[in-house]
């Protein structure tokens, strides 16, 4: 290479001056993506021979981008992205592959593996009162809570409620647990003489209230109708509309998988709609 | 520390916030505090900082810069400055100013708010380097937009703490011209004036409804130019500058689409006004200049007089007095040519304020008296209040204190009667200054505090900065070093946002002197 940066020497050298380096990479390879992927192949080969291991690259954080930006990355650069001869895992949010054009670019060049949300109910029983949840799945998430919260600090049936209220989303389950702990600390702060207590119904109710209000904020009043319709039909009127994809991205709507896909509201969002008599 | 009286809901949220900070003072924790009432916000911060300091947790402030609206940049700069934060001592950092970021794009590709949300979305990982809880204060509408526009950052929140207070939204203002003067330690005087065109007193809700209906039925209707401008002006009278700017921006787009020069001139002048009111003086000037060119092309004398006056105000606020005088005189000539008394009265008052800045008090008094005379003839209460307040300043500077008090009290009475909060804040601040000169310190501090509270009601940085500075001087005099420092710091930050470098330097010198 006559100009610009030598990617290979850079990686085998020191990883400093990252910002300047990025600019140089852009300048050098902007017009010649094939050179770029050759360089990546060389680096991978070097790592393989040095370590005796195969190389796996994980590209995370694409979910932070606006849908429009993700679109241009995958649609306009699909060849470049998949040209190096190494294994790459891109983590992308479900809302991205629900965009038909991106989906077709991706599916032609890669294998899409869907990591669905943990499901507690089948579509048939999802809105049935007193329906029995899928116990194996509940137990799996319950174990995570049990590992994080000592037994003497939480009542067992509360763990189950927390799991079910998470809608199967791990991060939101952790959020609820964290909120419960904050509520306990608040109680101790307001009433320092309270004897030993556990995370119970009262604490959970306060935690749920706080998280539910946080869910309400980004939804905005205009989207409640769309949510109500999604709830009633297990699918939105238009699964490709930007409005719906944003709700999916924000976890107000969750996607579940059976033989076909179906959608449901996050339990706390369903709760919001129930309070407004919309469902 | 001011005594905090909170209702049950606010108290719960407050204690929860304190507990969240106390639990993990050496770990990154993103705590979002939502509040529309700046007085309540100031009290809450004051109270948690005192409590946390007693618990051995260091308290720090930083402000988002509208020039570079990035949380990470603000924190990096703070950490660079504070060794305790680098050392990982228990600490909490309060982040202010999110409400001051503009939500409109103007000539930029992205609005300040959009830049902020984008940076939040992208610097989340970078925040991991900070080992302390961060309390980010947000007005309610900004919090909602943040949740929508920066979902990734939002998902990282450890808690949202909502506080209900008295927001400025319920305040109304009945006068039509503002022109008060704020005076600080020496002869620094600021003429703060703004012509608002009262073409309409249609209630805001009606205007909003009309715009919604028309936009749906006929989205390209030229009537929308007038409607958006009128609604913007109505918002501005309620001190809702951000909302006003958004309306003016829409009006301008419609006016450009229809090649309506009058509509463009009005929209441009309005954008300038809102930016000026928002303290963005540099940003206001190009809009006024564009409006002026159109006014001249159209031979719109009313418009020219108004735009010239506003240019004068902006330069006066920037401390560029000869330019200010030049614009005022052109405005005065134009106003006299077409015989608009109100315009003339307003400009005369503003001219007086420049002469005060130049130390020519007698000359200033002449202008103020002329302004007062016309205002009384026309029964324009607001210009009358402005003239009285300004006369108070001039007599104060001449050392004629009893006359000054008399003028200030008259001004204050009118300001309160017509609910002119900016004027009220100025009058309270100026009275405070006078009492300080007279050695009546407790009254002075009390008046500065009152001025501060009124200024925060309207969210007006300029009205807030002067009483802050004045209160700092008093606290220093009483030996309350940490109180004085925090007031100087807060005043300095606002002056810096406003681009008033002389006053920034003055605060810096005062802080430096405290250290020594």
Query: Is it the case that residue B115 has pLDDT exceeding 90?
Result: yes
pLDDT surpasses 80 at A48: yes
* pLDDT, position A140: 95
For residue B249, pLDDT beyond 90: yes
Section B101-119 average pLDDT = 90
Is A243 in the B-facing interface, judged by CB distances under 8 Å?
no
Q: What is the pLDDT of residue A66?
A: 66
DSSP state, residue B168: G
Instruction: Find residue B94's DSSP bridge partners.
Output: B61, B135
Taking chain A, what is the end-to-end CA distance rounded to the nearest angstrom?
64
- Give the pLDDT confidence score for residue B197 in this predicted structure: 37
Cα(A106)–Cα(A70) distance, rounded to whole angstroms? 12
Mean pLDDT of B96-108: 89
What mean pLDDT is reported for chain A?
Answer: 83
Mean pLDDT of B210-239: 90
> What pairs with residue B211 in β-bridges?
none
> Looking at the predicted structure, is the pLDDT value of residue B169 above 50?
no
- Contact call for residues A191 and A239 (beta carbons, < 8 A): no
Across residues B374-388, what is the average pLDDT? 90
* Statement: residue B106 has pLDDT above 90: no
The pLDDT of residue B176 is above 90:
no
pLDDT tens-place string over residues A129-142: 889 999 999 999 99
Q: Read off the pLDDT band of A258 (50, 70, 90).
A: confident
Quick one: pLDDT at residue B89?
94
| Residue B29 contacts residue B174 (beta carbons within 8 Å) | no
A45 has pLDDT over 90: no
Average pLDDT for B396-420: 92
In three-state secondary structure terms, B516 is: coil
Describe chain A by its helix, strand, coil percentages, rounded to 5.
60, 5, 35
Could you tell me the pLDDT band of residue A157, with boundaries at 50, 70 and 90?
A: very high
Residue A199: how many CA atoms within 13 Å on its side-chain side?
30
Q: Tell me: pLDDT of B189 over 60.
A: no
CA atoms within 13 A on the CB side of B419: 11
Question: Is residue A140 within 8 angstroms of chain B, CB to CB?
Answer: no
Task: Give pLDDT, residue A98.
Answer: 75
Other beta carbons less than 10 A from residue B155's beta carbon: 16
Q: What is the pLDDT of residue B203?
A: 86
Whole-angstrom CA distances from B307 to B314, B323, B364, B374 are 10, 14, 22, 21
Q: Distance between CA B152 and CA A246 in Å, rounded?
A: 12
Check if A93 contacts B (Cβ < 8 Å). no
Please tell me the distance from the alpha carbon of residue B306 to that of residue B380, in angstroms, as a whole number: 17
A246 touches chain B (CB under 8 A): yes
Whether pLDDT at B62 is above 80: yes
Residue A91 near residue A60 (C-beta atoms within 8 A):
yes
Q: What is the pLDDT of residues B413-435, one digit of tens each?
A: 999 998 888 889 999 999 999 99
Task: Specify the DSSP element, H or E, that contains B392.
Answer: helix B381-397
Yes or no, beta carbons of A186 and B144 under 8 Å apart: no
Of the partner residues A64, A214, A251, the one whose CB lies closest to the CB of residue B160: A214
Provide the shortest C-alpha distance from residue A187 to chain B (in Å).
9
Question: What percentage of residues in chain B have a pLDDT greater than 90?
Answer: 62
- Does residue A63 register a pLDDT over 70? no
Cβ contact (<8 Å) for A217 and B147?
A: yes
**Which site among B13, B17, B19 would you substitute to test the A interface, given the most A Cβ atoms closer than 10 Å to its Cβ?**
B19
- Contact flag B15-A190 (C-beta cutoff 8 Å): yes
pLDDT for A5 equals 52
pLDDT of A7 reads: 57
ipTM of the complex: 0.80
Q: How many angstroms separate the CA atoms of B71 and B125, rounded?
A: 12
Element (H, E) at B177: strand B177-183
Lowest mean pLDDT among A67-81, A159-173, A208-222, B263-277: A67-81
In chain A, which residues have their Cβ closer than 8 Å to the Cβ of B23? 182, 185
The string of DSSP letters for B237-281 reads HTT-HHHHHHHHHHHHHHHHHTT-HHHHHHHHHHHHHHHHHTT-H
pLDDT, tens digit, 9 for 90 and up, residues B498-509:
878 888 999 999
Q: Which residue has the tokens 């029983």?
A: A125
Indicate if the pLDDT at residue B196 is higher than 60.
no
Q: Residue A253 phi/psi, 5° resolution?
A: -115, 140
DSSP H helical ranges for B24-109? 38-54, 71-81, 83-87
**What is the distance in angstroms between the Cα of B166 and the nearest Cα belonging to chain A?**
20
Is B7's pLDDT higher than 80? yes
**Average pLDDT over chain B, rounded to an integer:** 87
Average of per-residue pLDDT across B387-408 = 92
Q: What is the pLDDT of residues B439-469, one digit of tens each?
A: 999 999 999 999 999 999 888 788 899 999 9
Determine the distance in angstroms separating the CA of A54 from the nearest CA of chain B, rounded to an integer. Answer: 28
As given in the structure block, the two tokens for residue A95 are: 């809302």
B191: helix, strand or coil: strand
Comparing A205 with A76, the larger pLDDT belongs to A205
């Amino acid at each position: 290479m006559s100009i610009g940066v030598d990617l290979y020497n850079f990686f085998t050298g020191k990883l400093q001056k990252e910002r300047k380096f990025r600019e140089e990479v852009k300048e050098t390879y902007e017009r010649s993506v094939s050179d770029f992927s050759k360089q990546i192949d060389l680096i991978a080969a070097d790592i393989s021979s040095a370590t005796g291991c195969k190389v796996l690259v994980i590209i995370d954080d694409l979910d932070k981008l606006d849908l429009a930006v993700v679109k241009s990355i995958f649609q306009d650069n699909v060849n470049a992205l998949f040209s190096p001869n190494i294994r790459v895992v891109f983590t992308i949010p479900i809302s991205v592959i629900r965009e038909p054009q991106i989906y077709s670019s991706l599916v032609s060049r890669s294998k899409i593996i869907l990591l669905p949300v943990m499901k507690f109910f089948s579509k048939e029983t999802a809105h049935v009162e007193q329906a029995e949840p899928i116990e194996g799945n509940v137990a799996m998430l319950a174990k995570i809570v049990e590992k994080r919260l000592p037994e003497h600090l939480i009542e067992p049936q509360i763990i189950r409620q927390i799991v079910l209220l998470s809608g199967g989303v791990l991060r939101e389950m952790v959020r609820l647990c964290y909120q419960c702990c904050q509520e306990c600390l608040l109680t101790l702060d307001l009433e320092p003489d309270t004897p030993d207590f556990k995370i119970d119904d009262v604490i959970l109710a306060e935690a749920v209230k706080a998280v539910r209000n946080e869910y309400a904020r980004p939804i905005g009043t205009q989207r409640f109708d769309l949510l109500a319709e999604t709830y009633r039909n297990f699918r939105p009127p238009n699964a490709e509309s930007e409005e719906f994809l944003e709700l999916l991205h924000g976890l107000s709507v969750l996607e579940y998988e059976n033989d076909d896909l179906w959608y449901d509201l996050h339990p706390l969002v369903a709760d919001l709609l129930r309070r407004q008599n919309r469902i | 520390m001011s005594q905090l009286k909170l209702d049950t809901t606010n108290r719960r949220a407050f204690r929860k916030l304190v507990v969240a900070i106390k639990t993990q003072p050496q770990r990154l924790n993103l705590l979002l505090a939502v509040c529309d009432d700046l007085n309540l916000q100031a009290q809450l911060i004051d109270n948690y900082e005192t409590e946390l300091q007693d618990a051995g947790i260091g308290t720090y402030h930083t402000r988002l810069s509208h020039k570079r609206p990035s949380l990470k940049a603000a924190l990096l700069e703070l950490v660079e400055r504070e060794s305790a934060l680098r050392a990982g001592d228990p600490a909490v950092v309060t982040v202010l100013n999110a409400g001051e970021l503009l939500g409109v794009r103007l000539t930029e590709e992205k609005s300040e708010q959009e830049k902020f949300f984008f940076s939040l979305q992208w610097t989340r990982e970078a925040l991991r380097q900070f080992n302390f809880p961060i309390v980010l204060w947000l007005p309610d509408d900004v919090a909602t937009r943040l949740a929508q526009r920066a979902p990734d950052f939002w998902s990282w929140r450890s808690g949202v703490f909502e506080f209900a207070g008295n927001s400025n939204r319920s305040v109304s203002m009945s006068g039509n011209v503002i022109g008060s003067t704020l005076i600080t330690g020496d002869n620094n005087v600021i003429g703060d004036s703004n012509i608002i065109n009262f073409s309409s007193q249609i209630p805001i809700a009606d205007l909003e409804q009309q715009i919604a209906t028309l936009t749906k039925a006929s989205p390209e209707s030229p009537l929308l130019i007038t409607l958006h401008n009128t609604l913007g002006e109505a918002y501005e009278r309620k001190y809702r500058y951000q909302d006003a700017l958004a309306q003016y921006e829409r009006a301008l787009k419609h006016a450009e689409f229809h090649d309506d020069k009058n509509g463009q001139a009005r929209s441009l002048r309005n954008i300038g006004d809102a930016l000026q009111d928002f303290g963005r003086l540099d940003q206001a000037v190009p809009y006024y200049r564009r409006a002026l060119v159109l006014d001249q092309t159209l031979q719109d004398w009313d418009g020219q007089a108004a735009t010239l006056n506003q240019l004068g105000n902006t330069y006066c606020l920037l401390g560029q007095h000869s330019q200010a005088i030049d614009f005022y005189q052109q405005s005065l000539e134009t106003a006299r040519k077409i015989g608009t008394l109100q315009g003339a009265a307003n400009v005369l008052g503003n001219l007086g304020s420049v002469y005060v800045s130049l130390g020519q008090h007698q000359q200033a008094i002449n202008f103020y008296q002329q302004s007062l005379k016309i205002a009384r003839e026309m029964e324009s209460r607001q210009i009358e209040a402005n003239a009285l307040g300004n006369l108070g300043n001039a007599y104060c500077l001449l050392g004629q204190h009893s006359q000054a008090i008399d003028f200030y009290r008259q001004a204050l009475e009118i300001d309160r009667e017509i609910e002119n909060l900016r004027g009220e804040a100025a009058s309270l601040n100026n009275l405070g200054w006078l009492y300080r000169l007279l050695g009546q310190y407790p009254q002075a501090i009390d008046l500065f505090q009152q001025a501060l509270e009124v200024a925060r009601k309207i969210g007006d940085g300029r009205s807030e900065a002067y009483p802050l500075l004045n209160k700092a001087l008093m606290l220093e005099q009483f030996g309350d070093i940490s109180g004085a420092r925090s007031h100087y710091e807060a005043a300095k930050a606002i002056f810096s946002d406003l681009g008033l470098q002389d006053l920034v330097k003055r605060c810096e010198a005062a802080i430096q002197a405290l250290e020594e």
